Amino acid sequence: MNLAGLSFRDLEYLVAVGDHLHFGKAAAACSVSQPTLSAQIRKLEDYLGVQVFERASRSVMVTDTGTGVLAQARAILTEGRRLLDMVQSGGEPLGGPFRLGVISTLGSYLAPVIFAPLRERFPRLRLMLTEGTTAGLVRGLESGELDAIVAASPIRDIELSELPLFHESFVLAVPRDHRLAVAERVRLEDIAADELILLNEGHCLRDQVLRLVPGSHQAAQSGAALQAASVETLRQMVSAGMGLALLPQLAVQVGTLLDDMVAYRLIRSATPGRDVALFYRPSFGRIRDVRLLRDALRDALVTLGTVAVHGRPETRSLTDPSRGEAPAGAAGALV
C-alpha cells in the first residue's frame, strides 16, 4: 500500500458521508451523483482493507474502526487546506481565502456592516461566507471546512477557542395594532406565550427565547406556538398580525423594518440579549489572521453605535443600563 492510492477527493467523500450519515445527502454536498460517491467509498474501503461505514436499508453507521479513519481523514484535509491557504495568501496578513461561518440569524445583518471595511483593510482577502445553525457550523469548523465561525456564546462541550465580539439586545416586534404597540417599554412577563412566534428547532435564537419568556416552553411542546424558518419570515408573520417575536438588535437596525406594520419595543429592566463571539480551533495555524479579523469586525461594528462591542468601552448597547433609556438616534427605529 502506498499514498498514490489515496486522493483528497476520496477523503472528502468519506468525510461527507461521516458528516451526513446519508449517501444521498453526502453526494449532494459533494456535487456528484450518489452512485459515483458510493463506488468511490467502496473503492477506498477496499484499498484500506477496512469497513468505514455499516450500511443498512435505511441508515448508515460508522464502524469502530471507521471512527479513527474519519478523524485522520479530517486531519489530512485540514492540513491540505492549510497548505493551499499558505500558498495563496503569500504570507500577507488576511490574504487569500478565509472561510467564515455565521449563524443564520446574524449573517444577513452582519454582512452589510463588515464587507466594505474588510475589503478596504485587506484587499487580497477572499472572504467566503457560510450561514447555518450553530451545530452545523461547529461541525464544519471541526472538520476543517471552515476557518472560524461567528456564533452566540457560549458554545458548550466543544473544544474551541473564543474571541468575544459584541453584545446585542433583543427587541420585541409587535403588530402596529397590538396592545403592546403603544407601551413605551414592555416586560418579558407581558409577552403572552401563545402569541409568541418561534424559529424552527436548531436555531440558537429559539432556545434563547424559550429560556426568557415565561410559559413559552409549554406552548412549544403543546404545538400551539407558530414557527418560522428565518428572522425575516418571523418579521413578515408579525407584520401580518400573526403574533409577536423577539428579534436580535442587528436584525432591527440593519434589516427591513416594515415600519408601517411592525412596531419595535424595548424590554424593561435588564434587557435580554446575546453575546456574540468568534470561535476557532485551538490548533488552527492562522491564529494571527483570526485576531486580525476579530479586530476588523469590532471596528466595523463600532460605527453602528448601538451594539456593545467587547473591548470597546466607548460604545454602549441600545439601552444604557445606567440611564434606563435609549441612546440618541436609536429610538427612531423603535417606534
Q: Is the pLDDT of residue 79 over 80?
A: no
**Domains 3-87 and 92-166+273-323 are alike in CATH topology:** no
- Rounded to the nearest integer, the mean pLDDT of the chain is 84
Q: Is the pLDDT of residue 322 over 70?
A: no
Domain coordinates of the chain in residue numbers? 3-87, 92-166+273-323, 169-267
Q: What is the pLDDT of residue 303?
A: 83
- Which whole-number Å values give the CA distances from 146 to 6, 127, 221, 255, in the listed order? 23, 11, 34, 26
Q: What is the pLDDT of residue 335?
A: 41
44-48, 92-96, 264-268: range with lowest mean pLDDT: 92-96
- Banded model confidence at residue 259, pLDDT cuts 50, 70, 90: low
Residue 319 φ/ψ, nearest 5 degrees: -115, 125
- Banded model confidence at residue 330, pLDDT cuts 50, 70, 90: very low
Q: What DSSP designation does 326 have?
A: P
Reading the block at residue 125, the C-alpha cell is 482577502
Return d(Cα 273, Cα 105) in angstroms, integer.
13
Q: What is the mean pLDDT of residues 279-299?
A: 90
Q: What is the mean pLDDT of residues 54-64?
A: 87
Return d(Cα 176, Cα 183) in angstroms, integer.
11
Return d(Cα 152, Cα 102) in angstroms, integer.
10
Cα dihedral 34/40/41/46 (nearest 10): 150
Return d(Cα 54, Cα 41) in angstroms, integer.
12
Find out whether 141 and 100 touch, Cβ atoms under 8 Å: no
Compare 293 and 220 and report the one with higher pLDDT: 293
Global pTM exceeds 0.85: no
Q: What is the mean pLDDT of residues 153-171?
A: 90
Q: What is the mean pLDDT of residues 268-286?
A: 86
CB atoms within 10 A of CB 328: 8
The gap between the terminal CA atoms of the chain, to the nearest Å, is 70
- Banded model confidence at residue 143, pLDDT cuts 50, 70, 90: confident
Q: What is the pLDDT of residue 197?
A: 95
Which residue shows C-alpha cell 407601551?
183
For residues 104-134, b (16+ Cβ closer than 10 Å) or e, as one string?
bbbbbbbeebbeeebeebbeebebeebbbbb
Q: What is the pLDDT of residue 4?
A: 67
Residues 169-267: name the CATH superfamily: Periplasmic binding protein-like II (3.40.190.10)
**Hey, what CATH topology would domain 92-166+273-323 get?**
D-Maltodextrin-Binding Protein; domain 2 (3.40.190)
**Hey, what CATH topology would domain 3-87 get?**
Arc Repressor Mutant, subunit A (1.10.10)
Return d(Cα 42, Cα 276) in angstroms, integer.
42
Q: What is the pLDDT of residues 2-41, one digit of tens each?
A: 666 788 888 999 999 998 899 999 999 899 999 999 999 9
Q: What is the pLDDT of residues 109-133, one digit of tens each?
A: 999 899 999 999 999 888 999 999 9
Q: Is the pLDDT of residue 96 over 90?
A: no
